[in-house]
Amino acid sequence: MRTGVVVFPGTNRERDAAMLLQRLDGKAPTMLWHTETTLPALDLVVLPGGFSYGDYLRTGAMAAHSPIMAAVRAHAARGGLVLGICNGFQILCETQLLPGILLRNNHLKFNCKFVDLRVENTRTPFTHAYAQGQVVHAPVAHGDGNYFADDATLNDLEQNHQVVFRYGHNPNGSARNIAGIINKQGNVLGLMPHLENAAEPLHGHVDGATMFASVLSKMAA
Q: Which amino acid, residue 96?
A: Q
Residues 6+ apart with CB under 8 A from 22: 28, 29
Please identify which of the residues 34, 75, 142, 194 carries the catalytic annotation.
Answer: 194
Tell me, yes or no, if 86 is annotated catalytic.
yes
Q: Which of 93, 142, 196, 203 is catalytic?
A: 196
- The candidate with the shortest Cα–Cα distance to 48, out of 31, 71, 65, is 31
Active-site option among 14, 34, 86, 93: 86
Query: Is-catalytic flag, 93?
Result: no
Asked whether the CA dihedral 36, 191, 170, 15 is positive or negative, the reply is negative
Output the CA angle 204-206-207, nearest 5 degrees: 125
SS3 193: coil
Q: Which of 7, 5, 47, 2 lies closest to 25, judged by CA? A: 2
The backbone region for 38, taken as left when phi is positive above 0, alpha when psi lies in -120 to 50, beta otherwise, is beta
Q: What's the CA gap between 2 and 7, in Å, rounded?
A: 17
Beta-strand ranges (E) seen in 9-120 are 30-33, 44-47, 81-85, 101-103, 111-119
Q: Based on the residue annotation, tell me whether 112 is a catalytic residue of this protein.
A: no
Residues involved in catalysis: 86, 194, 196
